Amino acid sequence: MKLRFLIVLSMLFFACNTDDEPVIADAALEGEWQLLNVVCYCSFEPDTDFSLTKINFDTDRSRVTVIHDGQYSFFREAGEHFYGGQGDRIGFSDDTVYRFEVEGSLLTLTLQDNPEIADDEVTFVFKR
């Protein structure tokens, strides 16, 4: 009897998954966003028009479409990109991960940087 109990108990123990964080909370991302600003350890020309970059989240399909109407490519290359993640993290197939926060009509995407590189922090601020 004790052996059966130990077997059942061990099966329950190994069935538990410690990665049970909530799936990505991306409902607030849905729709079109226009780039407002890029914050980083870099410089841009004073007349750089960030608003020429737009992104459109389709949360049902877990895809984001990036459009660049200007000469610069901000955030990601133009086109459709699949994303996944957990909680407030968005990950792409090239292993880049962004933390996102939506406050009212503003979306902030912050690159989860490499802690060994001091100047690779970048934050993208979008507005609806």
Q: What is the pLDDT of residue 41?
A: 79
Q: What is the pLDDT of residue 18?
A: 47
For residue 35, name the pLDDT band (cuts at 50, 70, 90): very high
Does the pLDDT value for residue 22 go beyond 60? no
Query: Per residue, what are the HEC states of 27-91?
Result: HHHCEEEEEEEEEECCCCCCCCCHHHEEEEEECCCCEEEEEECCCCCCCCCCEEEEEECECCEEE
For residue 44, name the pLDDT band (cuts at 50, 70, 90): confident
For residue 88, name the pLDDT band (cuts at 50, 70, 90): very high
Q: What is the pLDDT of residue 37?
A: 93
Q: What is the pLDDT of residue 25?
A: 79
Q: Are strands 79-84 and 89-92 parallel, antiparallel or unpaired?
A: antiparallel
Dump pLDDT digits (tens) for 90-123.
999 999 999 999 999 999 999 987 766 666 689 9
Domains defined for the chain, CATH in brackets: 30-127 (2.40.128)
Sign of CA dihedral 41, 43, 49, 54: negative
Q: What is the pLDDT of residue 90?
A: 94
Query: What average pLDDT does this structure show over 19-30?
Result: 74
